[in-house]
Amino acid sequence: MNPFTFQGRLGRFHYFGYSVIFAIAFVVIGAIVGGALSGPNPNDPSSALGGASLLLSVGFFVATTSLGVRRLHDFEKSGWWYLFAFIPFVNIVFALILIFAPGTPGENRYGSR
């Protein structure tokens, strides 16, 4: 499974599993990178920690967005619906729908699972 592709479908079980794996990986890698790059003064803005954290965050954002878009494809919805994830309070209901709602049975216009 390529976490950076926006093509195809993703079932709810795989969506939840990959989301948990990415979250754990983000925390672990962030702790390793943060520990390795923090010098004698971790609050120094010229340290490389800020750049490494930014790259890690962008990678995590793209990977989790692709999971959400592929999960929406399982409902036969456009990936643009993922913009609801950025609306406060609506994003909670949206996340619950992505986790618990069943997808379209069989094949749809985004392919088969």
C-alpha to C-alpha distances, 3 to 8, 11, 19, 60, 98, nearest whole angstrom: 11, 14, 10, 10, 17
Both structure tokens of 75: 């409902």
Kindly report the pTM of this predicted structure. Answer: 0.81
Give the whole-angstrom CA distance, residue 90 versus residue 93: 5
Distance (Å) of CA 10 to CA 71, 86, 91: 5, 21, 19
Task: Say what the pLDDT of residue 57 is.
Answer: 84
Asked whether the predicted pLDDT for residue 82 surpasses 90, the reply is yes
- Give percent of the chain above pLDDT 90: 45
Rounded to an integer, the average pLDDT of 76-100 is 93
> What's the mean pLDDT in 6-19?
91
84-to-4, 9, 18, 25, 58 alpha-carbon distances in Å: 20, 19, 20, 25, 19
